[in-house]
C-alpha cells in the first residue's frame, strides 16, 4: 500500500540528532514514501546525520547550510535544483538563542542576542521560502511548515527572547501564507509540546516543565517526536490541501489550560 506522500520530495532543515523534532518529522515523511533532502550546519552534525540516515528506507540527499548566511541559502537552492525539478515539502525546524539570554530577566536582553535569536529562528523561514520559491512553485501544491512553541503567545519561565522569536516566526508564517497562496503553496506551523531535545537542554527547569505538563494537560501525558512527525505528514499531504496560515498544536491539549 502506497504511503500518503509517495513520490513527494521534501527538504527538512534542522536535524541535529535522533531526539530532534526535525528527525521525528524526517522519519515520518520517509515512512509515508517521501524522498528526503536534509541539511547540516557543520561537519560534526554531518557525522551524526550520516549515521541517522542509515535507518531510512531510501537514500537521502545531504547539504550544508548556515541559515544566517545568504550565500549559503543560495548555494542550497542551487544544489537542490540540480537534483530535483520541484520541491513539495519544506520543513523549517531551526531555532537558537544564547543561553544567557534565556535565563534571568527579559529586560536584560541584549541587542545582539535579540538580533541573533530572530535571525536564526524567524527570518530563516523567510529566507528559505525565498530561495526555494521556484522549486516550490513547480510543485503546484507545496507545503511549508515551521516548528513553534507556546512561548510565542504566553510568558514561560526561562524562554525570554526565544518567545519573541517564535512570535515573529508565527507572524512570518501567516504573511508567507497570504503571499504564496496564489502559487499553490501552503504555509503552516506546528506548535509542539516540550520534548527532550538538544535545544530543550538549554532551558532551565525543563524537567520540571515536563512533569507539570504531564499532570495538567487534558490528555495527562507528554508528546513524542513521533507525534510531531505524524502531524507534519498530515500538513504535507492532500488531506490538508485547504489548510494554510494556521498553528497546529500538538501538545496533549496543554495550550487550552488556564491556571
Q: What is the 3-state secondary structure (H, E, C) of the chain?
A: CCCCCCCCEEEEECCCCCCCHHHHHHHHHHHCCCEEEEEECCHHHHHHHHHHHHHCCCCCEEEECCCCCHHHHHHHHHHHHHHCCCCCEEEECCCCCCHHHHCCCHHHCCHHHHHHHHHHHHHHHHHHHHHHHHHHHHHCCCEEEEEECHHHCCCCCCCCHHHHHHHHHHHHHHHHHHHHHHHCCEEEEEEECCCCCCCHHHCCCHHHHHHHHHHHCCCCCCCCHHHHHHHHHHHHCHHHCCCCCCEEEECCCHHHCCC
Residue from 40, 123, 159, 175 carrying the catalytic annotation:
159
Active site residue 254: no
Active site residue 175: no
**Positions marked active-site:** 149, 159
Amino acid at each position: 500500500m502506497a504511503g500518503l506522500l509517495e513520490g513527494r520530495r521534501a527538504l527538512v532543515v534542522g536535524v541535529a540528532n535522533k531526539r530532534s523534532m526535525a528527525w521525528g518529522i524526517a522519519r515520518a515523511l520517509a515512512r509515508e514514501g517521501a524522498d528526503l533532502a536534509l541539511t547540516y550546519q557543520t561537519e560534526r552534525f554531518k557525522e551524526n546525520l550520516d549515521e541517522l540516515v542509515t535507518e531510512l528506507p531510501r537514500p537521502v540527499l545531504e547539504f550544508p547550510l548556515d541559515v544566517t548566511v545568504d550565500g549559503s541559502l543560495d548555494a542550497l537552492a542551487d544544489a537542490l535544483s540540480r537534483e530535483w525539478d520541484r520541491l513539495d515539502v519544506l520543513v523549517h525546524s531551526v531555532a537558537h538563542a544564547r543561553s544567557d539570554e534565556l535565563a534571568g530577566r527579559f529586560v536584560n536582553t541584549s541587542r545582539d542576542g535579540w538580533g541573533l535569536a530572530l535571525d536564526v529562528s524567524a527570518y530563516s523561514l523567510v529566507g528559505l521560502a525565498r530561495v526555494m520559491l521556484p522549486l516550490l512553485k513547480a510543485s503546484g501544491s507545496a507545503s511549508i511548515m515551521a516548528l513553534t512553541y507556546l512561548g510565542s503567545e504566553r510568558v514561560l519561565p526561562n524562554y525570554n527572547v526565544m518567545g519573541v522569536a517564535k512570535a515573529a516566526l508565527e507572524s512570518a508564517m501567516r504573511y508567507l501564507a497570504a503571499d504564496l497562496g496564489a502559487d499553490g503553496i501552503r504555509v503552516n506551523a506546528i506548535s509542539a509540546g516540550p520534548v527532550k531535545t538538544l535545544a530543550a537542554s538549554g532551558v532551565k527547569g525543563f524537567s520540571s516543565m515536563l512533569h507539570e505538563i504531564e499532570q495538567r494537560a487534558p490528555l495527562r501525558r507528554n508528546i513524542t517526536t513521533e507525534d510531531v512527525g505524524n502531524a507534519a505528514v498530515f500538513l504535507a499531504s492532500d488531506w490538508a490541501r485547504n489548510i494554510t496560515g494556521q498553528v497546529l498544536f500538538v501538545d496533549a491539549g496543554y495550550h487550552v489550560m488556564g491556571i
